[in-house]
Structure 1
Amino acid sequence: MVKIVFESHDGSERTELELSPGGSVMEAAAANNIDGILADCGGSMVCGTCHAFVSPEWFEKLPEQSEMESALLEYVPDPQPNARLCCQLEVSDAIDGITFTLPESQR
């Protein structure tokens, strides 16, 4: 099982999921009603409503962003260098224990 944690922007809410590998982080968040992952485009990488922030140590371990993901993240509310689109990250053993901090704009 892969443990993924979603934390509200202010740290007041925290949800831990234990997931089987496979599918995207966005799909797992949507299936588990994670408040703050809107996923308006369903994972088509056109809306940015599944973006979240990761700590620097995790950011370095994730696969490199595509040019399209990087470009889209420039236009999300409150863009930050540690943002990723959850639709572009696979639930796998490589991210076991990761915490995603959800942006205030997606509450």
Structure 2
Amino acid sequence: MPKLTIVAFDGTKFELDVASGSTVMENAVKNSVPGVEAECGGACACATCHVYIDDSWSEKVGAPDVMEEDMLDFAYEQKPTSRLSCQVKMTDDLDGLVVHVPERQA
């Protein structure tokens, strides 16, 4: 069971044990992480689950696909490490992943 740390904008850390195959968004919503709105429910049809992948994890998580990149155009303060949390699936390889929630969503 991989570990996931979600850092809210105010610095609060949510340290979670999560199921492999679940998305960062699903875990954020399930644990009431503030700032992850997920209005489309994980369909990659909005940018309200936008997060920043911690720099130390960016390469391992990888880049967004074309559809996700298009949605990220709507994200607030997009950065090179921006991802939609609904598109980041947890695996054993991502054990220890750290993501940061932006100040606000799109």
Aligned pairs for 1:36-75 within 5 A: 36-75=35-74
Q: Quote the residue 2:15 is aligned against.
A: 16
Distance in 2, matches of 1:67 and 1:96, equals 25
TM-score (structure 1 length as normaliser)? 0.89
Aligned CA RMSD, in angstroms, stands at 1.3
Deviations 1:71-106 (A, max 9, x none): 211221111111011111112111111111100014
Is 1:88 aligned with 2:77? Answer: no
Gaps of 5+ in 2: none
CA distance in 1, matches of 2:99, 2:35: 11
Query: Aligned to 1:61, what secondary structure does the other structure show?
Result: helix
The 5 A counterparts of 1:21-40 are 21-40=20-39
Offset at 1:27? 1.1
Structure 1 gaps of 5+ residues are none
Partner of 2:7: 7
Runs of 4+, deviation exceeding 3 Å: none
Displacement of 1:64 in angstroms is 3.2
1:9 to partner: Cα distance: 2.4
Identity of aligned residues (%): 36
Q: Is contact 2:46-2:74 (8 Å) kept?
A: no
